[in-house]
Amino acid sequence: MYTTASEAEALIVSLKSLFFDLQQADVAVCPPFPYLMLASKALSGSRIGLGAQNMYWEPEGAFTGEVSPKMLKDAGCEFVIVGHSERRQFFGETDASVNKKVLKALETGLKPIVCVGETLAERESGKTEHVVETQINGCFRDLSADGMKAVTVAYEPVWAIGTGKTATPEQAQDVHRFIRGLLCGAFGKGTGESIRIQYGGSVKPDNAKLLLSQPDIDGALVGGASLKAESFAAIVRAAV
């Protein structure tokens, strides 16, 4: 929940200039709802994709304050983040509600970026794998292998979001490998190995290369470091 309209547009203009010839990495931005139409126009002519930070699972109706997947498509979105830890922490989202959003996003032609991850208390009590497995099973209930091909999974340890703490590359890789195994088991080896699994949690230019060099870390869900074009660009360059 950052930027004014003019700041959002300036950020996109800066990113376009930095990524004008980008071919080796997929990049998308997910601004707040009021700036989606502005962002869509500003991104015209670039290879940078557009996503939203959340959605509701109904196409329309008396759901005051919510935004539908149909509205997101109309605003130019290709992606939507669902189940972010802050949505779970502050707004009561559950695996069941995330599952509804994933299914409806896919039905509407949006590509969901689905967040999973444990709290500090859960990690310290040795429950990381149990928590993540429960989230994976709940969030992807009733999805087909074909549907999963359009999904990105984002592992974001809650204890590393906005805290300045970051999972070590080894810690992150351990969980990513575990998630990869769950996806292969649930949707088949070919599909499981092809699904993009991002890491999110205080990703910065100085730690991005080590994180992204891990075999099962396919990208980053960038938070605070995406608010400045140069730091976001440095993370993209690390990915390349």
**Does residue 122 have an active-site annotation?**
no
Pairing status of strand 196-199 against strand 111-116: unpaired
On whether the CB atoms of residues 200 and 220 are closer than 8 A, the answer is: yes
Catalytic residue check, 130 = no
Active-site option among 93, 118, 122, 156:
156
* From 84, 118, 122, 176, the catalytic residue: 84
Active site residues: 84, 156
